[in-house]
Structure 1
Amino acid sequence: MELQEAPNAGAWGEWNPTEDSARPPRGKHRVVKQRGGLARSSTVLGVGVIAAVGASGIATAQDRPQVAISMPSLPDFGLGGAGGDGQHADAEGPAAGAEAATKTGIIAQQAAGHADAGATLVGRILQQAESQESAADAQNRAQAERAAQEAAAAQAKAQRETAQKEADDARVAAEKEADDARVAAEKEAKEAAEAKAEQERIAKLAGSYSLPTSAYTLTSHYGDAGSMWSSGYHTGLDFAAPTGTPVKAVAGAKITSAGWSGAYGYRIVLELEDGTEIWYCHLSSMSVTSGSVGAGETIGRVGATGNVTGPHLHLEVRKGGSTMDPLAWLESKGLSV
């Protein structure tokens, strides 16, 4: 049932009640009560509240400040509120109707205001959600960038460590190669120096030592075994040469013995400065029998005296009472036998 507009000068237009909306007055003049006024006001109020709560959401509306909603003062039609059949109308009907219509408009305005507040609240919620989503996206991007930076830093560190290790290995290899080259050079230099020293020593010895004879043939060597020698083996080196071949002093020495010596025949013994003794045996003659002699000086002649099978020089080298290999000793003095 539609709400009829109440008469109000200039604001609400002309009010023309009909049969359906008005009944004949009883007694004094009465204004017919507008049915449905309170019901419509309550409906509009409920719609406004529902619109506000529905638009804003229950959870969010709880955080909003409460909006005071005032119930309009409704005219008393003598029935104590809504209801009644309109038998008792207020004597000031037009004014009361205008006031009710005005209050109804206020409720609508309040409902609209609540709806706007709900829309504003929804907008704020959406804006907050977007802001939170943007913050989450920014945080995720920051975490991804930080993870990428950490990965890049780790990769760079690994590359630096690898490069450093390769550089260290190369340096160690170069140092080892340099050390090996240095050791090899030092060894080569040392060997060359030793060889040179040996050559100089041999050359010096060659000038200080001389072969015991010339035009000879080596027949028996030191250590040869046989029954012809009393010790069971040969104790010297035999230079076979014709009788009368000169016999020379192998080095500067002094004569400590010269004469007959049994199985050795005629023998001359030279003692060198270091105590080494050189025995010349089976001589046919002796040129010097005492004193000192120099290297290469003739001291006797090859012969076949004593226990022999033919003319030869039996040369022995002794030191500290023990015999030595004459061939090795002569070669150690730089002589080529």
Structure 2
Amino acid sequence: MASNTPAPEAPFRPDFFSGEEGAERAWEEWNPTEDSVRPVRGRHRVVKQRGGLARSSTVLGVGVIAAVGAGGMATAQDKPPVSISLPDSIADNLPDAKSLPGVGSLLSDDSSDTDAGNTSPLTAVTLASDTDSKTAADGAAGAGEALRARILQQAEQQQAEADAEAKAAAEKLAAEKAAAEARKQQTAAEAKAEAEKLAAEKAAAAKAEAERLAKLAASYSLPTSSYTITSTFGEAGSMWSSGYHTGLDFAAPTGTPLKAVHSGTVKSAGWSGSYGYRTVLELDDGTEIWYAHQSSISVSAGQKVSTGETIGRVGATGNVTGPHLHLEVHTAGGTGIDPMTWLRDKGLTV
């Protein structure tokens, strides 16, 4: 069992002082609060006062512990109380616990009073500390739970915002896709409508052209019938003085009738060198139609003729190799053009 030994007594040295003043000071009470006292390092001793308790920090500590132990107040929250025993020489000299500063107020004169007001100062401190700790723990737990709830709320809000943004982006993408598809369909429909319109216009134009050609065909005629095309416009060869063929040759038997391709006026009719017997028919727009190599002429200059009227007959006069009609077409300016193209433009099939 633990025990505390008393502090050694300080030896009395009357010769330390001299005279009455020394004797008086020899028994003067030690006052540690005086400014004259200098701090002493290490172990030190004090003068014992009238055969009583040596006032040292060790003895005072032992007295406080003894007083608290005697009152049954020294307890620990998580450890059993520890018994303290002292030698009789020290226990007899201990002061009353109630006379110690700060301790007497903790003890009650009535030992039978077990009310919390008399025995609870230290315990109350412990309980208060426990309560404060529990309250602080509860407060910390509540604060942590509130922080956790706020973090979860913020996370849920952020997730909701992210979901809303994703939904908006998806809806925007779907709308853009739908708009693109609609534009594509609209473009396709417009292209189809345009193609149909062009086709209709083309059909209408073809129909109009057919009608025009039908009307022209009604007013134009081929120069002869029962023929064979033997030479076309622009063919090169030494048999032609210009080096190339200037007309369209319709080979037919001699005496086959030659007709006016359109109504007009006979500009000339007679012999024309390598052309043989030639008739020139001038149309109303100034175009000239030349009929060459005729065997005979049926019209005269200045005579007006109508479409399909006989103006002569196929022959082999002039520079020829056989009976045929050499047909030339000249514009109002005198330029020779392809007779086949001109006849087809008038709705005729050559």
What TM-score do the two structures reach when normalised by structure 1? 0.69
- 8 Å CA contact retained: 1:41, 1:104: no
Q: What's the counterpart of residue 159 of structure 1? A: 170
- Residue type of the partner of 2:262? A
Summarize the Cα distance change of 1:100–1:272 in structure 2 as closer, same or farther, 3 Å threshold: same
Q: What's the counterpart of residue 344 of structure 2? A: 331
Q: What's the counterpart of residue 214 of structure 1? A: 225
1:263-308: CA deviation from partner (whole Å, max 9, x where unpaired): 2122111112222110011222222212321111111222222222
Q: What's the counterpart of residue 322 of structure 1? A: 335
Summarize the Cα distance change of 1:37–1:240 in structure 2 as closer, same or farther, 3 Å threshold: closer
Q: What's the counterpart of residue 100 of structure 1? A: 109
1:9-63: CA deviation from partner (whole Å, max 9, x where unpaired): xxxxxxxxxxxxxxxxxxxxxxxxxxx9976544578957x87xx89xxxxxxxx
- 8 Å CA contact retained: 1:44, 1:108: no
Summarize the Cα distance change of 1:112–1:228 in structure 2 as closer, same or farther, 3 Å threshold: closer
Determine the C-alpha separation between the residues in 2 that align with 1:85 and 1:134: 55
Q: What's the counterpart of residue 275 of structure 1? A: 286
- Residue type of the partner of 1:314? H
Deviation at 1:117, TM superposition (A): 2.5
Determine the C-alpha separation between the residues in 1 that align with 2:272 and 2:221: 25
- Asked if 1:296 is matched to 2:308, the reply is yes
Matches within 5 A, 1:16-95: 41-43=67-69, 47=73, 84=93
Determine the C-alpha separation between the residues in 1 that align with 2:185 and 2:70: 98
Summarize the Cα distance change of 1:228–1:109 in structure 2 as closer, same or farther, 3 Å threshold: closer
- Asked if 1:177 is matched to 2:188, the reply is yes
Q: What's the counterpart of residue 129 of structure 1? A: 140
Deviation at 1:189, TM superposition (A): 1.1
Deviation at 1:200, TM superposition (A): 1.1
Q: CA RMSD in A?
A: 3.1
Q: What's the counterpart of residue 237 of structure 1? A: 248
- Residue type of the partner of 1:261? S
Counterpart among 314, 317, 320 of residue 305 in structure 1: 317
Aligned residue for 1:281, secondary structure, equals strand
Summarize the Cα distance change of 1:213–1:45 in structure 2 as closer, same or farther, 3 Å threshold: farther
Determine the C-alpha separation between the residues in 1 that align with 2:150 and 2:340: 99
Determine the C-alpha separation between the residues in 2 that align with 1:179 and 1:186: 10
- 8 Å CA contact retained: 2:108, 2:118: no
Moved segments of 4+, more than 3 Å: 36-48, 82-86, 98-107
Aligned residue for 1:284, secondary structure, equals strand
Which ranges in structure 1 are unaligned for 5 or more consecutive residues?
A: 1-35, 56-81, 87-97
Which ranges in structure 2 are unaligned for 5 or more consecutive residues?
A: 1-61, 79-90, 96-106
Deviation at 1:115, TM superposition (A): 3.4
- 8 Å CA contact retained: 2:73, 2:123: no
1:189-238: CA deviation from partner (whole Å, max 9, x where unpaired): 12211211221122111101001111222222222332222112221112
Determine the C-alpha separation between the residues in 2 that align with 1:42 and 1:204: 144
Determine the C-alpha separation between the residues in 2 that align with 1:177 and 1:45: 106
- 8 Å CA contact retained: 1:44, 1:107: no
- The one of the two structures with greater contact order (alpha-carbon pairs below 8 A, sep at least 6) is 1
Aligned residue for 1:229, secondary structure, equals coil
What TM-score do the two structures reach when normalised by structure 2? 0.66
Q: What's the counterpart of residue 140 of structure 1? A: 151
Deviation at 1:85, TM superposition (A): 8.3
User: How many residues were matched structurally?
Assistant: 262
Summarize the Cα distance change of 1:301–1:39 in structure 2 as closer, same or farther, 3 Å threshold: closer
Determine the C-alpha separation between the residues in 2 that align with 1:200 and 1:83: 154
Determine the C-alpha separation between the residues in 2 that align with 1:199 and 1:38: 138
